[in-house]
Amino acid sequence: MAVNRGTGTGVEQDGAEPIELLACGRDAAQVWDHAARSELDEHERGCPHCAAAGADARTLDRLVHRMAAEPLAPPPSVMDQVMGAVLAELRPPDLLSLASPYGPARLSRPAAAAVLRHVVDRVGGMQARSCRIAPLAEAGGTGPTAVLVAMTVTAQFGVDLASVSARVRQLLVAAGEQALGIPVCRVDIDIVDVFDDTTPRGNRS
Amino acid sequence: MGAILRAERTDRAAPRVDQLGGCPGYAVPDPVYGAVPGRPGRVDRPDLDEQTLVVRAQEGDAAAFEQLARRHQAALYRLAVRVLGNPTDAEDALQDALLDAWRRIGRFRGDSAFSTWMYRVVTNRCLGVLRRRPPTAPVHEMAEPATAPGRSPEHVVEVDAGMDALRAALRQLPDGQRVCWVLRELEGLSYAEIAEVTGASETAVRGRIHRARTRLAEVMGPWR
């Protein structure tokens, strides 16, 4: 590639060398980008310096595309080991106390939250996002074990929000008592987003 | 949409969960995400959006984190392999980086895409590995890649030899250039996204990528 090494006036790159200008004065990086996208302008198509840069770009591009298409996937052992470490690191102190006549019983708060989220997920038209469980004593109440549940959810566009929310609320209260053994005295539901059933899976914002 | 519903319920006479059709067989509910290969009993939830998974993981939900990690692990592994130059180091770096991500996910504020944040975690881990490596031979000492003595590029199997040559040339680039080039040319990130990943300015990123391209084109001359 023909470059103008002596008179290049490109911007300094955080203390690195400036991008060289081609002998015709064009920004070499820009010409390369144009060539890689097959979007050379009129000057770039006719100029020998730009043409040389473009040829470099196209030559390299063929191999680069092949390299990008190479199948590379980590072995399953990577995720297995990561999740083993993650689960071993779960912190025990974040616990909810359960009423038990047989001595102290405690439940991990993230596990309880996961159960309640699962309840919401099973309801058509709504999915749980955040789930905060606070003992009522912390929230200003009097009962030692009753809790306040504050959830954020996403709702499917078009569902009857009031009706679905009422159902979710009933389910959360029931799940708290029947599945977790924790009286749920209050359920706050914030609907923070909507999703369309036609939105591609996994691409919702 | 902001908060449009906020309500309070104190009714203790709640119906049974199974009576409401919510969770049949709910005696020991399992907040599962999926029939993940190798993890019996877990149900994949491809319908959950990324933001929901991030929030759940930030609140300590390991299953949500696992799903996020599985979604991104292939791209992160490709980055690590290209930057570090070998699969073994890449596996170690990816493993450490994912554990870093779990420990630090509470600090992710959503200012950038989650994938960008994950790329940053992996990039930092890879650069740390490279810093601890003994220095490699400088570029001018690099053997002409895949050009066996007495054989011109015309006499080798050109495609594979070209790929080998490109890999070798990539390994010889300065680390910062290699990271930027891989993110741009192999992972398809924009200059702005690469700047976020690397913490460099967009102009610096553009310069590094151009110098990497120029160097690679130079080295790959015999395969033209």
Please name every residue paired with A191 in a beta bridge, in sequence order, or none if there are none.
A153
Q: What is the 3-state secondary structure (H, E, C) of A178-193?
A: HHHCCCEEEEEEEEEE
- Chain A residues with CB-CB distance to B187 below 8 A: 68
User: Nearest CA to B183 among B168, B158, B200?
Assistant: B200
pTM of the model: 0.78
Q: At A21, is the secondary structure helix, strand, or coil?
A: strand
Report residue A39's pLDDT band, with 50, 70 and 90 as the boundaries: confident
What are the residues whose beta carbons fall under 8 Å from the beta carbon of A95, sequence distance 6 or more?
Answer: A106, A107, A108, A109
Q: What is the pLDDT of residue B136?
A: 62
Residue B100 has pLDDT above 90, yes or no: yes
The Cα of B209 is separated from the nearest Cα of chain A by a number of Å equal to 8
Query: Are B5 and A19 within 8 A, CB to CB?
Result: no
Looking up tokens 């690099």 gives B142
The Cα of A110 is separated from the nearest Cα of chain B by a number of Å equal to 6
B106 within 8 A of A130, measured Cβ to Cβ: no
The Cα of B212 is separated from the nearest Cα of chain A by a number of Å equal to 11
Rounded CA gap, A185 and A195, in Å?
Answer: 29
- β-strands A105-108, A126-135: how paired? unpaired
> Is the CB of B13 inside 8 Å of chain A's CB atoms?
no
Q: What is the 3-state secondary structure (H, E, C) of A113-155?
A: HHHHHHHHHCCCCEEEEEEEEEECCCCCCCCCCCEEEEEEEEE
Q: What is the pLDDT of residue B26?
A: 35
Residue A101 has pLDDT above 70, yes or no: yes
The amino acid occupying position A203 is N
- Chain B residues with CB-CB distance to A77 below 8 A: 91
Nearest Cβ partner of A82 from B14, B61, B69?
Answer: B69
ipTM here: 0.79
| pLDDT tens figures, B151-183 | 555 544 666 788 888 999 999 999 999 999 999
- β-strands A95-98, A21-22: how paired? unpaired
- β-strands A126-135, A21-22: how paired? unpaired
A28 within 8 A of A1, measured Cβ to Cβ: yes
List, as ranges, residues 28-67 from B with C-beta within 8 Å of A.
28-32, 37-39, 45-52, 55-56, 59-63, 65-66
Nearest Cβ partner of A169 from B7, B23, B47?
Answer: B7
The Cα of B219 is separated from the nearest Cα of chain A by a number of Å equal to 10
Pull the structure tokens for residue A77.
């052992």
Nearest Cβ partner of A170 from B20, B99, B203?
Answer: B20
Residue of A nearest to B73 (CA): A74
A16 within 8 A of B208, measured Cβ to Cβ: yes
